[in-house]
């Protein structure tokens, strides 16, 4: 899910800043978004390398971060699900984006690597269900941070990994 980053602008101008401010820094390719009713489509417009070169004069760039010279990937592959996974506003369990049901189909004639199609109407229904029915208030008696039945890493985890302590 960390590969699922994308942005609609490389940088923005902010009054008082000498240079443009880079948006989401490195690792986020530039996408173009179109909407057809409640169906959104994101198409890659520019990879990471080209985007870095375009905004090389934006704050905070190479003079501050020498590691940018070590990037060799283009950023137009990977799991681009951050727009696809509905928001789950549970203040305790958080957004379990990696537990989403997805549909996979063969690429169409006009599809390219990194294309994302999102049904925002369905995502809104999931968000509303979590907001209205599935979230729970934080109390000192209930310390469960995330459901124990979700499969976690290959090694076993103690109950402490799923809990937290509420302090006044």
More confident residue, 68 or 41: 41
Residue 148 resides in a domain: no
Per the CB < 8 A criterion, the answer to whether 52 and 26 are in contact is yes
Query: 73: which residues sit within 8 A by CB, 6+ positions away?
Result: 48
| 33 part of a folded domain | yes
Q: What is the pLDDT of residues 61-110, one digit of tens each?
A: 555 556 656 666 555 554 455 566 666 665 555 555 555 666 777 888 98
Q: Which of 17-21, 28-32, 46-50, 95-99 has the lowest mean pLDDT?
A: 95-99
Range of the domain at 124: 11-137
- Rounded average pLDDT over 23-32: 72
How far is 31 from 164, CA to CA, in rounded Å?
38
Would residue 50 count as lying in a domain? Answer: yes
143 part of a folded domain: no
Percent of the chain with pLDDT over 70: 49
| DSSP 8-state assignment for residue 110 | T
In a domain, 97, yes or no: yes
Domain assignment of residue 124, yes or no: yes
* Residue 140's pLDDT band (cuts 50, 70, 90): confident
User: For residue 111, what pLDDT band results from cuts at 50, 70 and 90?
Assistant: confident
The Cα 112–Cα 79 span in angstroms is 13
Instruction: Among 2-11, 18-27, 29-38, 112-121, name the most confident range.
Output: 29-38
Q: Is the pLDDT of residue 20 over 60?
A: yes
pLDDT of residue 141 exceeding 80: no
pLDDT at site 1:
44
Q: Is 158 a domain residue?
A: no
Structural domains counted in the chain: 1
Per the domain annotation, does 168 fall within a domain?
no
Cβ pair 61, 21 in contact under 8 A: no
Output the CA–CA distances (angstroms, integers) from residue 89 to 30, 93, 162, in the order listed: 27, 9, 18
Nearest partner of 27 among 51, 11, 43, judged by Cα:
51
């Amino acid at each position: 899910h960390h590969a699922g980053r994308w942005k609609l602008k490389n940088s923005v101008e902010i009054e008082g800043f000498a240079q443009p401010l880079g948006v989401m820094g490195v690792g986020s390719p530039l996408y173009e978004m179109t909407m057809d009713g409640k169906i959104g489509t994101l198409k890659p417009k520019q990879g990471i390398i080209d985007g870095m070169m375009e905004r090389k004069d934006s704050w905070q760039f190479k003079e501050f971060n020498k590691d940018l010279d070590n990037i060799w990937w283009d950023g137009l592959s990977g799991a681009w699900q951050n727009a696809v996974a509905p928001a789950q506003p549970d203040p305790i369990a958080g957004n379990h984006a990696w537990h989403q049901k997805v549909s996979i189909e063969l690429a169409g004639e006009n599809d390219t690597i990194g294309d994302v199609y999102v049904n925002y109407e369905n995502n809104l229904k999931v968000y509303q269900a979590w907001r209205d029915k599935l979230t729970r208030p934080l109390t000192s008696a209930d310390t469960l941070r995330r459901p124990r039945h979700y499969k976690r890493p290959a090694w076993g985890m103690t109950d402490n990994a799923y809990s937290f302590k509420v302090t006044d």
